Structure 1
Amino acid sequence: MTGTTGVAATPPMGWNSWDCYGTTVTEDEVLANARVMAERLLPVGWDTVVVDIAWYDPTARAHGYNEGAPVVLDAYGRQLPAPGRFPSAAGGCGFGPLADAVHALGLRFGVHVMRGVPRRAVELDLPVLGTSWTARDVADPDHVCPWNPDNLGLDHDHPGAQAWYDAQVAQLAGWGVDLLKVDDMLAPYHAREIEAYARAVERSGRPIVLSLSPGTHVSTRHVEHLRANAHMWRISDDLWDRWEDVHAQLARLARWAPFQRPGGWADADMLPLGRIGLRAERGEPRDSRLTPHEQRTLLTVWTMARSPLMVGGDLPSTDPATLDLLATPAIGEVLRGSTDGAELVREPLGTGPDAGELVVWGARAAGGERRYAALVWTGEAARTCAVAVASVVGTADVGRPWGATDLWDPAGPVPLGDELVAEVPPHGVRWFALDPA
């Protein structure tokens, strides 16, 4: 599926409503974020706006899910946007008008759905479109999501299960959806569900990016199956604005980076940057608790590892410094135009309170001699760090003179000797482009 369609040839970049609005985002809030993205971030490559979970629940609230929610369904049990939150969906229009408005800004539109069939469709025993079966016939009440009550599982030994997904995705495609984030797919790993959803996307006839979540304990042994059936897949639980969350992703990204390729991307989760927690699952309204140095580290390593980038902060109320950070041209340049991103060095340095790890990432520009290097320092105080230029540019190019340009604070290039040396802040990064002098 992914290798032949040309979908997600580079890692998707965009905004997702989860970190700031949880289950409660409204149409006006989606459009407000889309307008800021189009104005400030689209030139760098941020181009997708995603409505996350429970858009069909008119009683959605912050900090949790609702048991027995009166979710809005059509006559065939397919979810419809709650019109009180999404007024343009009234009259059966679904997300079509909102998708049109997002597309008119030059952006792409995505939505979240849960694995399975809505409980309410089963309770009402609604028909599965185009078949003689009903939701009750195809439901599997023994395999349900452990953390969200909206859906029951699907019995994939019954042919109506595939028909249900085909009908659901056909409706979403008809509304103009460009990305589908399908949740409760990977923990545990639901291989038949993944294949069924991939078939439904293919049968829809629309080039939709298929994103799978969450990533709890997902293993690289699944990579061929994931590539064959999805365009991006999470590699962790939800990431929040804590250094320990970011630090843990460094090793995960190092494991997955060698497997990144066009059409299939390991996803280190959303970026908890800017104004988050407004009506979210976790925490009160706040600016990201990551320090400015930690925010640069997150963006740099995600980019060098070519993870999809989905920012979680509410863009209209996010501080200008964070918007400037997201609009840094190097992010789009490296994410979309590099190859061979890899962790090159992981070295413990110092003792006691001065201890930390030097983690070095390298990558190559796809269309030239340029190389990229990122020096990450995990310690609690700044440290001067060094890496051999040969380890970044390769031994074949060691005899040539090279210059380094700082990608976060452009100035230079500065001529290099045998080593790239930089003062790295605590939990911080120095990010460079290396070019032949």
Structure 2
Amino acid sequence: MFHPSASRTGRTVAGLTAFAACSVGLVAATGPASAAPDPARAPLAPRTAEPYPHLAPTPPMGWNNWSYYMCDINEKVILDNARALVRTDLARKGYNTVTVDDCWMAKQRGPEGELLADPARFPHGMAHLGRQLHAMGLKFGIYADVGTHTCEKYPGSMGHFRQDAELFASWKVDYVKADGCNVPTAPGSTKEQTYRDLYGQMSRALAATGRPMTFSVSAPAYFQFDGRPLWHRVIGWSADVGNLWRGGRDVALEKQSPAQKWSSILYNFTYNSGLADLQRPGRWNDPDFLLAGDSGLTTDEMRSQMALWAMMAAPLISSTDLTKLSGAALEVLGNKEVIAVDQDPLGVQGKVVRQETGMAVLSKPLHNGDRAVALFNSGNTPRTLSTTAKDAGLPDAGSYRLRELHSGRITNSGGEIAAKNVPPHATVLYRVTAR
């Protein structure tokens, strides 16, 4: 969870003005705070020789507690949401990884330097939690930090990478999310070199266990405001050390207003949509969690986030109270045709092919030769949106079949891909077949 120069709970969410600024590549120069240097715990190590194992051929899907619950978690909260994944059929549709975020640990390591579960929150321990999740047919994800402490000041993994990796493997963990709070810059090294070394150490430690643990890297989020060349370079090596990476700011928290949530979705969409050339199949840009649920978002806004994340081949990781999921939110999260766009085996992130103030058009190639085309009205008034089959990258054809993936409605076109009176904050998502 990235939070520039402020505590996670105190960070502000960028508004629509930030969305517009990011559209033209203008971002403020700021960065995350770091702890005081501790050179004894930050030895430099050689660059990762082998890329991290290829463990995520399609974007990961699942649930994480952070945006909704933050630190208000315990064994019951996690397992109740896991059961809801199964009960709602979301698990069967691909949402199969349950990740426990920050605050699961005790404040101090054990007598052998080992991480311990908070005994009040998780009285049966994390191995027990993992067994419960596996018994439901789900995967077990856990949070760590490469710094001295996590973002919420629990023990970090710096100086304990091998020990923590072996512990996670013994707990049968399937997915590790490693944050980058409280990282002291090593003497004689740059900030980038330090982050690269620490994430490299964790990557090698996880791989050395022999247990396949999908590795989510947060390093790029801590460089989003350090200049585009450096940010992109960090994304480049993140794709060597892990399977997916957080690119920038956190999406909004449950306690924030609906307007703040929508602004954060716009902001994260905008920065992530510009990173398509840095993604490759099996190595995923991650613009953070899906907010569909008890969040104050409209149905159109929930559908837009889901459609845009699917177009960007982003991980689909819900962060809400799944035990109270509305029918509209369940329809959004469970839309099999939209999920299929995200999980398409070609593994290509869609690109923006047209963008103006208040609108964007994205096109994504699919493995069978179809194209997914999204017409996104980010503005506050209804408008007609359009592109052409040629501009969307489709081959010449006598006609085109357009299937709208929210309603299932099918139309035919001679070459125009359009939607009239698209509501504010709504997205029309087509699967287009040349005929």
Which bracket does the TM-score occupy, shorter chain normalised? Answer: 0.7 to 0.9
Q: Which residue number corresponds to residue 97 of structure 2?
A: 48
Measure how far apart 1:339 and its partner are.
Answer: 4.1
Q: Which residue number corresponds to residue 149 of structure 1?
A: 153
Q: Which amino acid aligns with 1:232?
A: L
C-alpha distance 78-263 of structure 1, shift in aligned 2 (>3 A) = farther
Contact 1:273 1:295 in 2 (8 A): yes
Partner SS for 1:77:
coil
Partner SS for 1:79:
coil
Partner SS for 1:243:
helix
- 2:350 is the alignment partner of 1:342: yes
- Please say which of residues 202-211 and 235-244 is displaced more in the overlay: 235-244
C-alpha distance 152-403 of structure 1, shift in aligned 2 (>3 A) = closer
Pick from 407, 410, 430 the counterpart of residue 408 of structure 2: 410
Partner deviation per Cα, 1:254-303 (whole Å, 9 max, x = no partner): 221222223321110112221xxxxxxxxxxxx31322212111111111
Partner deviation per Cα, 1:151-208 (whole Å, 9 max, x = no partner): 4784xxxxxx3xx210111011110111111111698641111111101111111111
- 2:237 is the alignment partner of 1:225: yes
More strand by share: 1
Pick from 84, 107, 110 the counterpart of residue 36 of structure 1: 84
C-alpha distance 204-172 of structure 1, shift in aligned 2 (>3 A) = same
Contact 1:341 1:361 in 2 (8 A): no
Q: Which runs of 5+ in 2 are unaligned?
A: 1-47, 184-190, 225-230, 253-257
Separation (CA, whole Å) in 1 of partners of 2:401 and 2:278: 29
Separation (CA, whole Å) in 1 of partners of 2:298 and 2:334: 18
Separation (CA, whole Å) in 2 of partners of 1:152 and 1:230: 18
Separation (CA, whole Å) in 1 of partners of 2:360 and 2:179: 32
Measure how far apart 1:72 and its partner are.
Answer: 5.1
Separation (CA, whole Å) in 1 of partners of 2:283 and 2:348: 15
Separation (CA, whole Å) in 2 of partners of 1:217 and 1:410: 41
Q: Which residue number corresponds to residue 284 of structure 1?
A: none
Q: Percent identity?
A: 27
Pick from 284, 287, 297 the counterpart of residue 304 of structure 2: 297
Q: Which amino acid aligns with 1:168?
A: D
Task: Give the aligned length.
Answer: 361
Q: Which amino acid aligns with 2:242?
A: A
C-alpha distance 260-213 of structure 1, shift in aligned 2 (>3 A) = same
Partner SS for 2:265:
helix
Q: Which amino acid aligns with 1:177?
A: V
Q: Which residue number corresponds to residue 364 of structure 2?
A: 363
- 2:162 is the alignment partner of 1:166: yes
Q: Which amino acid aligns with 1:231?
A: N
C-alpha distance 206-7 of structure 1, shift in aligned 2 (>3 A) = same
Separation (CA, whole Å) in 2 of partners of 1:290 and 1:170: 41
Separation (CA, whole Å) in 2 of partners of 1:371 and 1:149: 45
- Mapping 1:30-429, distance limit 5 Å: 30-39=78-87, 40-57=89-106, 71=107, 73-89=109-125, 95-117=126-148, 148-151=152-155, 154=158, 161=159, 164-184=160-180, 189=192, 190-213=195-218, 215-218=221-224, 219-240=231-252, 242-274=261-293, 287-337=294-344, 338-348=346-356, 356-366=357-367, 368-394=368-394, 397-412=395-410, 414-423=411-420, 424-429=422-427
Q: Which residue number corresponds to residue 21 of structure 2?
A: none
Separation (CA, whole Å) in 1 of partners of 2:433 and 2:176: 39
Measure how far apart 1:78 and its partner are.
Answer: 1.9
Measure how far apart 1:19 and its partner are.
Answer: 1.6
C-alpha distance 333-186 of structure 1, shift in aligned 2 (>3 A) = farther
Partner SS for 2:387:
strand
Q: Which amino acid aligns with 1:109?
A: F
Contact 1:369 1:435 in 2 (8 A): yes
Partner deviation per Cα, 1:187-241 (whole Å, 9 max, x = no partner): 8641111111101111111111111226143322223311110111111121115
Partner SS for 1:113:
strand
Contact 2:389 2:417 in 1 (8 A): yes
Contact 2:350 2:365 in 1 (8 A): no
Separation (CA, whole Å) in 1 of partners of 2:157 and 2:205: 16
Separation (CA, whole Å) in 2 of partners of 1:41 and 1:363: 24
Contact 2:303 2:426 in 1 (8 A): yes
Measure how far apart 1:3 and its partner are.
Answer: 5.5
Separation (CA, whole Å) in 1 of partners of 2:403 and 2:51: 35
Q: Which amino acid aligns with 1:10?
A: T
TM-score for both structures, normalised by structure 2: 0.78
Partner SS for 2:212:
coil
Measure how far apart 1:247 and its partner are.
Answer: 1.5
Separation (CA, whole Å) in 1 of partners of 2:176 and 2:240: 16
Partner SS for 2:282:
coil
Contact 1:3 1:263 in 2 (8 A): no
Partner deviation per Cα, 1:29-75 (whole Å, 9 max, x = no partner): 11111111123202221110011101124xxxxxxxxxxxxx25332
Contact 1:117 1:153 in 2 (8 A): yes
RMSD: 2.2
Measure how far apart 1:150 and its partner are.
Answer: 2.9
Separation (CA, whole Å) in 2 of partners of 1:328 and 1:359: 22
Contact 1:44 1:329 in 2 (8 A): yes
TM-score for both structures, normalised by structure 1: 0.77
Q: Which runs of 5+ in 1 are unaligned?
A: 58-70, 90-94, 119-144, 155-160, 275-286, 349-355
Contact 2:108 2:155 in 1 (8 A): no
Q: Which residue number corresponds to residue 26 of structure 2?
A: none
Separation (CA, whole Å) in 1 of partners of 2:339 and 2:295: 22
